[in-house]
């Protein structure tokens, strides 16, 4: 998949909703369409300043006119959950908890419309033999039980609106990983 950007823009550069949308698109492109790479259309560009003081940009980084000020857009953290932990040459593998919550609304005639998934899980084996899980949770708070990996070491990285790309665990694998609502969680097993 190449050259994606959030258009029309629905999230200013500080809105974590932009990260959640980007993470969902990346997950679905890699997992459902079998894309073997993913890239953003715009790495850095000028932001536009709205009357309410919010800054808008479709890039991963946004800068003021002339480049004196550079800010990280929230969608950057979504891409980082994949690019930082899943190197070239990694192979997608099936996660045993390959679960999907799918909700639909019905129109007046009883037809299902507006289907949405509340979370995506993808698993990867890296060329170095590490196992990487990426969980995009747009639904309610969830606890994921990870079985048969207790003897491994793990690092858990999580992004939320309050704490982007934070390392929340490093050590012996956790039997349970908490994924709050509106979060992106990456678990690296080695």
Judgement on whether residues 27 and 113 belong to the same structural domain of the protein? no
Q: Strand, coil or helix: what is 9?
A: coil
Judgement on whether residues 72 and 149 belong to the same structural domain of the protein? no
143: containing domain: 91-189
Task: Mean pLDDT check: name the lowest of 53-62, 69-78, 80-89, 176-185.
Answer: 53-62
Q: Which of 146, 141, 5 is nearest to 73 (CA)?
A: 5
What is the number of structural domains in the chain? Answer: 2
Judgement on whether residues 43 and 114 belong to the same structural domain of the protein? no
Residue 47 in domain: yes
What is the per-residue pLDDT across 133-142, written as a single tens digit (0 to 9) for each? 999 998 888 8
Q: How distant is the alpha carbon of residue 20 from its chain centre?
A: 6
Tell me if the bond preceding 73 is cis, omega within 30° of 0.
Answer: no
pTM assigned to the model: 0.83
Judgement on whether residues 97 and 182 belong to the same structural domain of the protein? yes
Judgement on whether residues 184 and 112 belong to the same structural domain of the protein? yes
What is the per-residue pLDDT across 109-124, written as a single tens digit (0 to 9) for each? 766 555 556 778 889 9
Residue 55 in domain: yes
Domain of 179: which CATH number?
2.60.40.1180
Region 68-79: mean pLDDT is 91
Residue 149 in domain: yes
Judgement on whether residues 107 and 63 belong to the same structural domain of the protein? no
Judgement on whether residues 160 and 129 belong to the same structural domain of the protein? yes
Residue 68 in domain: yes
Q: Strand, coil or helix: what is 20?
A: helix
């Amino acid at each position: 998949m190449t050259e994606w950007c959030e258009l029309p823009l629905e999230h200013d550069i500080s809105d974590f909703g932009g990260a959640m949308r980007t993470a969902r698109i990346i997950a679905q492109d890699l997992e459902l369409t079998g894309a073997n790479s993913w890239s953003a259309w715009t790495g850095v560009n000028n932001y536009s300043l709205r009357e309410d003081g919010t800054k808008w940009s479709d890039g991963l980084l946004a800068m003021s006119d002339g480049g004196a000020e550079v800010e990280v857009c929230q969608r950057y953290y979504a891409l980082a959950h994949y690019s930082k932990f899943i190197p070239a040459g990694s192979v997608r593998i099936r996660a045993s908890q390959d679960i999907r919550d799918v909700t639909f609304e019905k129109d007046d005639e009883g037809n299902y419309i507006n289907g949405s998934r509340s979370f995506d899980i993808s698993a990867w084996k890296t060329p170095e033999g590490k196992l990487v899980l990426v969980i995009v949770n747009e639904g309610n708070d969830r606890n994921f039980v990870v079985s048969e990996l207790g003897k491994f070491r793990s690092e858990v990285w999580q992004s939320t609106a309050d704490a982007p790309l934070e390392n929340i665990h490093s050590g012996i694998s956790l039997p349970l990983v908490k994924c709050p609502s509106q979060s992106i969680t990456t678990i690296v097993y080695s």
